[in-house]
Copies of this chain bind each other. A is one copy, B any other.
């Protein structure tokens, strides 16, 4: 746990240009801070949610799964993001349709539901934040649809790697072909085959457990 003043410093650092001063105070007052290790499931399909998370640092994978257990990575949440799903899960008392897994060490503030609605009335910046969040998520979902509908697996792999490089802030990734296959709902053999092709085309370079992504056209 952080001391209050440390949390305050963090909040200001990340959100001073997003939220007005009074709102920052309220967040500090009513929010609950939590720090979560990498690869922890924050929320699973079917869970009910009573608090809304606000991402302070780290990143979170949002994953969709069908009944047979096939998975698909939808998008990442990063600093300053919130989970749009949660917004309505909390407001509408519905169950989660997705799984959220921390990608790295992640710091969050949880906001109680009743404050969410209250702040929509009181704070212009909160309204903008919530609507922006929804919109960003909707765009990301549509981006995911584009990938599936209009791009082949080779393009999807490259985009997956590049996105991951952006999120983690490094072009050298530590991950295996099997992990990629899992996130893209494909199979390891297919990934290996196409990785070879991507390397031949100079778009990536890789060794066991390590992939370097180069900037390239999709």
Contact-size category for A: 35 or more
Number of copies: 2
Contacts A72-B149, A121-B121, A127-B120 given; indicate if A135 touches B66 (C-beta within 8 A).
no
Instruction: Tell yes or no: A78 within 8 A of B by CB.
Output: no
The chain B residue sitting closest to A74, CB to CB, is B145
- Which residue on B lies nearest to A185, using beta carbons? B149
**Are B139 and A138 interface neighbours, CB within 8 A?**
no
Partner of A141, one of B70, B88, B92, B138: B138
Distance of A65 from chain B, by nearest CB (Å): 9
Indicate which residue in B85, B98, B132, B150 contacts A88 across the interface (CB closer than 8 Å): B132
Say if the beta carbon of A173 comes within 8 Å of chain B: no
**Which one, B68, B92, B98, B150, contacts A142 given CB within 8 A?**
B98
The CA-CA distance from A149 to B3 in the complex, in Å, is 44
Q: How far is the CB of A119 from chain B (nearest CB, A)?
A: 11
Q: Which residue of the partner chain, among B117, B127, B138, contacts A85 with CB atoms under 8 Å?
A: B138
- Report yes or no: A64 in contact with B145, Cβ–Cβ below 8 A: yes
Task: Give the docked Cα–Cα distance between A97 and B143 (Å).
Answer: 10
- Whether A145 touches B146, Cβ cut-off 8 Å, given contacts A84-B138, A135-B92, A139-B97, is no
In the complex with contacts A120-B127, A148-B148, A142-B72 CB distance below 8 A = no
Q: Which of A82-138 contact B (CB under 8 A)?
A: 84-85, 87-88, 91-92, 97-98, 117, 120-121, 124, 127-128, 130-132, 134-135, 137-138
For the complex with contacts A72-B145, A72-B149, A134-B138, 18 further pairs of A-B residues with Cβ separation under 8 Å are A64-B146, A64-B149, A66-B146, A66-B150, A70-B150, A84-B134, A84-B138, A85-B138, A91-B128, A97-B139, A121-B121, A130-B131, A134-B135, A138-B138, A138-B141, A141-B142, A148-B149, A149-B185
